[in-house]
Amino acid sequence: MKKIVTFGEVMMRLSPPGYAKFSQATSLDIDYGGGEANVAIALAYMGMKACHVTRLPDNIIGKSATQYLRQHWIDTDHILYGDTRMGLYFLEKGAVHRSSEIVYEREDSAFSKIEAEMIQWEEILEGADCFHWTGITPAISRGAAKACLKAIQVSNSMGIMVSGDIHSRKSLWKYGLSKQDIIPDLVSGSNVVIASTYDMYDIFGIGKSESNFETSAKTLQEKFPLIQKVVDKDREVLSASHNRIKGKMWNGSKLLTTPFYDVTHVIDRVGTGDAYAAGLIYGLVNHKKDEVALKFAAASCALKHTVEGDANMVSNEEVTRLVEGNGLGDIKR
C-alpha cells in the first residue's frame, strides 16, 4: 500500500442545505476541507495510506475536525493542537447562472501560528511515496511557508516524490511576502507541478497570461531541473451546473491530453482541482504511466463534481471504471 503525506490548513466548511441562500438558511451543513487534506482523503478512498499534517485549535471544534479526517481514513497522529481559532469558510452553492459564493474567516487560525520547528518531518515522511503541497499554505503565514519548504527539502533528501499545485489566491498573502518571493523555492524541490499558463506567467514571469501551455511548461522545466511533469487542466464553465474537464501534461518529452469529461449536472464543484491532483498522484505512484495518470486525474476530477463536500470519496474501482468507460451511470448491484 502506497503512502501520501500532505500538509496544510483544514477549515470548517459551513453551507446552507441544497441551493438555499444564506439569507434563507436556518441551518448549515458541516464539512471540513482544505486543498491538501482533500488530496489526502481522495487518495485514502482510492486505497493509499494517507497522513495529513496540520495544526488545529485545542478545543471541541478542533477535535471534531480531526474526527472528520479520521472518519475519512486519514492518519491524524501528527496533527498539532494549540490556540483557539478554527479557520472557517461559508459556502453558498449556486446553480446555472448564479455563481457559488465563498466567504472566508481564516485569519489568525491555529494553523497560521504554526512554526517549522513544531514538526518532525523525517519521522512523518518515513515510508511515504509522495509529499504534496499547494500554493495556499505558503500564503497563510511565514511559519507555514517555512514548514512547507522544510517538508519539501526533507522529502528530497529521502528520495520521496514531491508534487505541488502552485495555484494561490492573491487575497491571501497578508503577512508581508508574496507568491513571487516564496513559491519558486518550493517549486525548485518539486518533481510534479500543477500549474496553469497564467500561474507560470504570474509567478515566474514565463511567457504571457495567454501563452501556449507546452512552451511555458518546457521553460519551467528548464528553470527547475527537478521537475519531471508539468500538469494542468482545461475547465469549460458552461454554467455553475455544467462544466467540462480535460487533462493535459507536459511530461518532459511530449504533451499528453485527455478528451473532455462532460459534467452535465454539477453537485459540488469545490475541491475538484484537488481531486484532479489526487487522481494524478494515484496514477503516477501506482501505475507509473503518464497517460494513465493523466486519465486518472481527469476522471477523478469529473467524479468529484458529483460528490458533496470538499474531498472526493470514490474508490479506485470507480475511477478506473470511468477511465475505462465501462458501465457509466448504470446501477451497481
**Positions 168 through 207 that interact with its own copies (CB under 8 A):** 169, 171
Q: Which three cell numbers stand for residue 315?
A: 474508490
Binding mask 74-103 for its own copies (x = CB under 8 A): ----------xxx-x-x-x-xxxxxxxxxx
One-letter amino acid for residue 286 of the chain? N
Residues 2-61 that bind its own copies (CB under 8 A): 14, 17-30, 45, 59-61
Q: Does 318 bind its own copies (CB under 8 A)?
A: yes
Residues in contact with its own copies, total (CB under 8 A)? 83
Site stretch for its own copies (CB under 8 A), options 118-126, 138-146, 287-295, 312-320: 312-320
Shortest distance, CB of residue 310 to its own copies, whole angstroms?
12
Site stretch for its own copies (CB under 8 A), options 63-71, 160-168, 173-181, 224-232: 63-71
Residues 280-309 that bind its own copies (CB under 8 A): 299, 302-303, 305-309
Q: Does 242 bind its own copies (CB under 8 A)?
A: yes
| Residue position matching grid coordinates 482510492 | 46
**Contact call for residues 74 and 37 (beta carbons, < 8 A):** yes
Measured CA distances, 228 to 7, 187, 190, 221, 265 (Å): 22, 11, 9, 7, 35
Q: Does 253 bind its own copies (CB under 8 A)?
A: no
Residues 266-285 that bind its own copies (CB under 8 A): 267, 269-270
Apex 81 CA angle, 75 and 85, nearest 5: 120
Shortest distance, CB of residue 161 to its own copies, whole angstroms?
26
Q: Does 238 bind its own copies (CB under 8 A)?
A: yes
Query: Measured from the CB atom, is 172 or 249 closer to its own copies?
Result: 172
Query: Measured from the CB atom, is 100 or 219 closer to its own copies?
Result: 100
Query: Measured from the CB atom, is 225 or 325 closer to its own copies?
Result: 325
**Contact call for residues 158 and 244 (beta carbons, < 8 A):** no
Query: Measured from the CB atom, is 189 or 271 closer to its own copies?
Result: 271
Q: Which three cell numbers stand for residue 299?
A: 476522471
Query: Measured from the CB atom, is 73 or 201 closer to its own copies?
Result: 73
User: Is the C-alpha dihedral spanning 69, 75, 77, 79 positive or negative?
Assistant: negative
Query: Measured from the CB atom, is 98 or 287 closer to its own copies?
Result: 98
One-letter amino acid for residue 118 of the chain? M
Helix (H) or strand (E) holding 201: helix 197-204
Residues 102-131 that bind its own copies (CB under 8 A): 102-105, 107-108
| Residue position matching grid coordinates 462544466 | 243
Shortest distance, CB of residue 153 to its own copies, whole angstroms?
31
Query: Measured from the CB atom, is 229 or 269 closer to its own copies?
Result: 269
Helix (H) or strand (E) holding 263: strand 261-263
Altogether, the residues listed in the chain come to a count of 333
CA-wise closest residue to 303 among 333, 330, 329: 329
DSSP code of residue 46: T
Query: Measured from the CB atom, is 64 or 188 closer to its own copies?
Result: 64
Q: Count CB neighbours of 81 within 10 A.
A: 14
| Residue position matching grid coordinates 480535460 | 246
